[in-house]
Structure 1
Amino acid sequence: MPLLIIAAASIIACTDPSVHDGDTIRCGAERVRLFGVDAPEVLRGQTPAEPFAYDARDELIRLTRGRVGCRFVERDRYGRFVGKCWSSVSSDVNAAVIRSGFATEYRRYSKGLYARAESEARSAGHGAWAGQAQAR
């Protein structure tokens, strides 16, 4: 029985989570950092927003409408739940936000898991890659 409890605790789910930026949502009381996703930072105090930060945030809002679930990968140095997420809109929210072109793969942690999604965004000229599309 303890195994079931541990397995159940490794997934969290909610409806219409709040979105902080292009790689962080709040699902209930838990802040969830999307595993392997690096999105531009939004305005923080006196630090201006990075280019495409609000586009990335808006895309994550779109991708997390409805029911959302996240599978635990680890806790980051800030204590956030780092996870792989899915929703009513996408079976892989992490890859979808990267595929939009408004975020990139955070290779330091994901080790190439989302390289294809980033390559697709770049080749198609999506998001920040607009005007930089590569020939197929």
Structure 2
Amino acid sequence: MMLSATLIAAAALTGCTVTDGDTIRCGKERVRLIGIDAPDDPGNSRCRPFPKPGAVCNRRRAAESKQALQRAMTGPIRIERLGTDNYGRTLAMVYVHGRSLSCRQIETGQAAYVARWDRGRHVARECPRAVEGRKIPSRTYSDRPAEDLPAFSGTIAGDLVARLGPNRTIKQGAIQLAGGLVRCRGRQTMADVDPI
């Protein structure tokens, strides 16, 4: 009886594709693997205009993580739905051949474990040894190797131009932008930026 349920689920999910290292799409349903965070492409909204705390913005690592998840998505797929997130994605434990894809991504170094995203500690129970060594610190910042700097610099330049406005000098815009960068990293607020 269990085998037939798995085959039915696999037949219903044959159209699943990989969006990135921690998200898949099955038809119209976007499914976010619970408890993990994979590297993001610098063009991703988590990396623009400034990297969000915890985001790893690295084009090469994001592609490698996505490819690893694509390679793992061979065989019967089972989704254990646990809720939805603020973006309307299904939060779930996803299994291929009975193995958790969240655990597989952590074990192969393609994603980090994030305890606050592990509702019900499902991932921690499935692969406790892998989780222990792959936790993501509460505050980490993106690494931007040379190949990602042009894209990152372009977003900074665009933001500077937007902040200039009709009655601002380049110096005023740059100071406001610098304050935004520092605020984004949680070190101070805009009120802490010295006026010109």
Distance in structure 2 (CA, Å) of the matches to 1:45 and 1:34: 17
Which one has the bigger strand percentage? 1
Contact kept? 1:15, 1:65, Cα under 8 Å: no
Tell me the TM-score normalised to structure 1 length. 0.68
**What's the offset of the Cα at 1:37?**
1.0
> What's 1:8 paired with?
none
Q: Go from structure 1 to structure 2 and tell me whether the alpha carbon gap of 1:107 and 1:120 turns closer, same or farther (over 3 Å shift).
A: closer
Distance in structure 2 (CA, Å) of the matches to 1:32 and 1:54: 18
**What's the offset of the Cα at 1:28?**
1.6
> What's 1:59 paired with?
68
Tell me the TM-score normalised to structure 2 length. 0.49
TM-superposition CA deviations, 1:12-57 (whole Å, max 9, x none): 9512521111000001210000000100112426959525111111
1:62-77 mapped onto 2 (5 Å cutoff): 62-77=71-86
Distance in structure 2 (CA, Å) of the matches to 1:28 and 1:42: 23
> What's 1:108 paired with?
116
Q: Which runs of 4+ in 1 moved over 2 A?
A: 42-49, 118-122
> What's 1:99 paired with?
107
Is there any run of 5+ residues in structure 1 with no aligned partner, and where?
1-10, 123-136
Is there any run of 5+ residues in structure 2 with no aligned partner, and where?
1-8, 49-56, 136-196
**What's the offset of the Cα at 1:81?**
0.2
**Aligned residue identity for 2:100:** D
Matched, 1:33 2:41: no
Single out whichever of 105-114 and 59-68 deviates more from structure 2.
Answer: 105-114
Distance in structure 2 (CA, Å) of the matches to 1:45 and 1:78: 14
Distance in structure 2 (CA, Å) of the matches to 1:75 and 1:95: 20
Distance in structure 1 (CA, Å) of the matches to 2:131 and 2:15: 25
CA RMSD of aligned residues (A): 2.8
**What is the number of residues matched between the two proteins?**
111
Identity of aligned residues (%): 31
Distance in structure 1 (CA, Å) of the matches to 2:42 and 2:78: 27
Contact kept? 2:112, 2:134, Cα under 8 Å: no
Distance in structure 1 (CA, Å) of the matches to 2:130 and 2:71: 18
Which one has the bigger helix percentage? 2
Contact kept? 1:17, 1:65, Cα under 8 Å: no
